[in-house]
Amino acid sequence: MTPKFFPTLLLTALGLGRAAAQTPTPYSAAGKQAQVYTTAQGTDQRLTAGAALSFQPAGQPVETQVCVFVDPSHQFQTLLGIGGALTDASAETFFKLPKAQQQEFLQAYYNGTSGIGYSLARTHIGSCDFSSASYTYIKEGDKDLKSFSVKPDEKYRIPFIKQATAAAGGKLTLFVSPWTPPAFMKTNHDLLHGGKLLPEYRQAWANHYVKFIEAYEKQGIPIWGLTVQNEEMATQKWESCLYTAEEERDFIKEYLGPTLQKGGMGEKKLIAWDHNRDLLYQRASTVLDDPEAAKYVWGIGYHWYETWTTSGPLFDNERRVKETFPNTNLIFTEGCVEKFNFDQVNDWKLGERYGNSMINDFNAGTVGWTDWNVLLDQTGGPNHVGNFCFAPIIADTRTGKLIYTNAYYYIGQFSKFIRPGATRIATTTNRDWLQTTAFRNTDGKVAVVVMNNSDKKQEFQLWIKGQAAATTSLPHSIATYVIN
């Protein structure tokens, strides 16, 4: 299936989560038009442009009128970017594709006009589950890191990141995350199965982050930021390492933070937690209530996998962190739909999970949103421990074709029209089957995302300060209204 693309907003200057102005800015929709782009189940609409809507004077709505209310005069966080992870699995799969499909893939994700304009990326320090095998950058026992080399990444991952960056116009905000220290530095002497960082190797491990960043930047890949540890409360059958909140706090303030500063990397954005929303507040408060740790921390990262406990998504935990620590950034660092099944690549629920999360995460104050693997093959891998998952684009390496799941289009409803530097603005609905978030871009255009996860078509008014445009939300659809 070939995606359908339409013109998007101009690429704007990158905003690094700066505080939004609180002084209301006058805004009127009088005389304006909204261009609508829709992705809808049971139709061929995939980021499809519809007829422009005109705003007309509208008075007080009554309760029987369904409305999406937008108030651009009240502003919140500034968007860092939206994107996905550039993993070994994605890189290896990419290079198995014919050249034409490689270019199609790059344009589909990273071109802001013909694609969905990804601007944010994550990659891993060392191997992870989405690698074909486990590896490290040093020889076993080399605590002085004299043998340090990123040679394992030079065949696939580094060239892949460079091509993605070029497709994004030469600039891609990239942060990095370790899955595990080398085995000799851990209590279980194993790259896999959890374990903890041994106290005597805390400085060596802190030095390792600096070595990695230096090596990548020497390769021409700028590193914007880093997380302390991927999923630091999970003992996984793949690469993993455990930290309590107190251990992470102390590692940041006594080792990692000072080491970054001494290495001339004090400007790199350090992100704590990088695990699920369930323990988000407990972890954030433990780290940020300590001023000596907090001074090094730019933000708190989180994933969406708390649902493994049978809980629903815990968006309120994000809100508690933002209310309590308003000057600390929230960033979504990973999410994917697990338990890959090739027969389900057209399942509409894939995209709806993304839409629900992105709307709620942005409304809770999140400044950046990072999907997991940007590309996987027809097995949901490669993955060296059989932990196969979905990606928004699947490459069938048997045929050389790309399969675009509706998750790709759902993410694109945000990333294509809400650009780095955009500021979130106030928006609400008066029916729970319509969900919404809205941003004002640096060029002044307002982008309002409306998602309908119900089985019914819904007529509604897009209402902005006494001006309204009549429109319709299709069943199981997501639409973005770009107001000039």
- 392 & 349 share domain: yes
Assess contact for 305 and 236: CB atoms under 8 A.
no
- 361 & 467 share domain: no
Assess contact for 460 and 472: CB atoms under 8 A.
yes
DSSP one-letter string for 1-50: -PPP----PPP-PPP-SPPPP-SPPP---TT-EEEEEEEETTSS-SSEE-
Residue 15 lies in a domain: no
Give the residue from 355, 373, 360 showing the smallest Cα distance to 414. 355
Is the predicted pLDDT of residue 19 greater than 60, yes or no?
no
Assess contact for 178 and 125: CB atoms under 8 A.
yes
- 230 & 115 share domain: yes
- 323 & 464 share domain: no
pLDDT band, very low/low/confident/very high, at 25 (cuts 50, 70, 90) = low
Report the number of distinct structural domains present in the chain. 2
- 102 & 51 share domain: no
Q: Alpha helix locations (H) across 5-59?
A: none
Residue 139's domain spans which residues? Answer: 81-420
Q: What is the helix (H) or strand (E) element at residue 207, kind and residue range?
A: helix 202-218
Residues 6+ apart with CB under 8 A from 424: 20, 75, 76, 77, 78, 79, 362, 363, 437, 438, 439
Query: Checking phi first, is residue 31 left (phi over 0); if not, alpha (psi -120 to 50) or beta?
Result: left
CATH code: domain of residue 72: 2.60.40.1180
Mean pLDDT of 314-340: 98
- 403 & 437 share domain: no
pLDDT band, very low/low/confident/very high, at 87 (cuts 50, 70, 90) = very high
- 342 & 434 share domain: no
- CA separation for the pair 438, 450 (Å, rounded): 9
- 88 & 47 share domain: no
- 260 & 309 share domain: yes
- 196 & 124 share domain: yes
Q: Using CB atoms within 10 A of its CB, is residue 64 exposed (0-12), middle (13-18) or buried (19+)?
A: exposed
pLDDT band, very low/low/confident/very high, at 26 (cuts 50, 70, 90) = confident
Q: What pLDDT sits at residue 20?
A: 46
Assess contact for 437 and 354: CB atoms under 8 A.
no
Q: How many Cβ atoms from other residues are within 10 Å of residue 79's Cβ?
A: 28
CATH code: domain of residue 117: 3.20.20.80
Residue 469 lies in a domain: yes
For the annotated catalytic residues, the residue numbers are 231, 334
- 286 & 407 share domain: yes
- 141 & 201 share domain: yes
| Phi, psi at 166, each rounded to 5° | -60, -40
Q: How many Cβ atoms from other residues are within 10 Å of residue 35's Cβ?
A: 19
Assess contact for 67 and 463: CB atoms under 8 A.
yes
pTM: 0.95
Average pLDDT, the chain: 95
Q: What is the pLDDT of residues 125-179, one digit of tens each?
A: 999 999 999 999 999 999 999 999 999 999 999 999 999 999 999 999 999 999 9
Q: What pLDDT sits at residue 291?
A: 98
Report the percentage of the chain scoring pLDDT > 90.
Answer: 95
